[in-house]
């Protein structure tokens, strides 16, 4: 069964059809810039363009970088605040004409990694962290998702963690890998003290460069591994949600 997965981020919107039986992309993914300002109508048009480009008429799943309950957006830290209170499932369904489900982006990536990737078969407590425009999080225990965690917003040194340790901050502040890894280490050790996971999965686009920073993490007792699906995890998880 194929489902279109659409992954909305602070800087880009990515999409591809996915074979939800094995988590593989069945066509090359397409990425377009996230409209600025990232208001609902503009983002919905970007999604519609991707749907049209694939000639898609089946089911679709769409991620959103914020809390999503019953298809309604509750937070939008890295997109326009006008999203708050919007029924995104209804909006995207109306604009695309498709049967659509909407899920938090990190939850989607975590679901993909737990089904097909680094967390497959793991029955302990697992925390998935996605480092990108912000820091997304997904929490699993015995393979079950605890939805809409927002651990990227815990306070570290008086700031949201993602204002110190996201991939965007690393690039904007031109931090070398050692300096940035120190911030990530501090953040993750704080999170470990709150949750005591058995496993951390580190995702987002930066996971492709995990060899540059994971060996520099020194404060953690949990196992830390890179996401095996890298930056495609959100697309795959979106498709799983839409299946």
Domain ranges of the chain: 2-107+233-242, 120-227
Q: Which CATH superfamily is domain 120-227 in?
A: ATPase, nucleotide binding domain (3.30.420.40)
Identify the pLDDT of residue 62: 98
Give one DSSP letter per residue of 149-186, joined into a string. Answer: --GGGSEETTEETHHHHSHHHHHHTT--HHHHHHHHHH
pLDDT surpassing 90 at residue 162: yes
Question: Average model confidence (pLDDT) for the chain?
Answer: 97
Q: What is the pLDDT of residues 97-148, one digit of tens each?
A: 999 999 999 999 999 999 999 999 999 999 999 999 999 999 999 999 999 9
CATH of domain 2-107+233-242: 3.30.420.40
Burial class of 121 by CB neighbour count within 10 A (0 to 12, 13 to 18, 19+): exposed
């Amino acid at each position: 069964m194929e489902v279109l997965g659409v992954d909305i981020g602070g800087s880009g919107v990515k999409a591809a059809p996915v074979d939800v039986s094995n988590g593989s992309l069945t066509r090359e993914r397409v990425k377009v810039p996230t409209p600025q300002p990232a208001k609902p109508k503009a983002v919905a048009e970007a999604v519609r363009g991707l749907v049209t480009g694939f000639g898609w008429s089946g089911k679709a799943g769409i991620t959103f970088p914020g809390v999503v309950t019953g298809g309604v957006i509750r937070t939008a830290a890295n997109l326009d605040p006008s999203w708050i209170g919007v029924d995104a499932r209804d909006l995207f369904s109306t604009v695309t004409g498709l049967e659509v489900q909407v899920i938090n982006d990190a939850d989607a990536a975590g679901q993909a990694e737990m089904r097909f990737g680094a967390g497959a078969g793991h029955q302990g407590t697992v925390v998935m962290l996605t480092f990108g425009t912000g820091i997304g999080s997904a929490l699993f225990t015995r393979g079950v998702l605890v939805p809409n965690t927002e651990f990227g917003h815990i306070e570290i040194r008086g700031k949201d963690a993602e204002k110190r340790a996201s991939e965007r901050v690393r690039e904007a502040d031109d931090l070398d890998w050692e300096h940035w890894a120190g911030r990530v280490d501090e953040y993750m050790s704080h999170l470990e003290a709150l949750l005591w996971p058995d496993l951390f999965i580190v995702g987002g686009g930066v996971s492709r460069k995990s060899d540059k920073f994971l060996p520099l993490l020194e404060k953690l007792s949990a196992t830390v591994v890179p996401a095996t699906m890298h930056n495609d995890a959100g697309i795959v998880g979106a498709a799983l949600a839409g299946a």
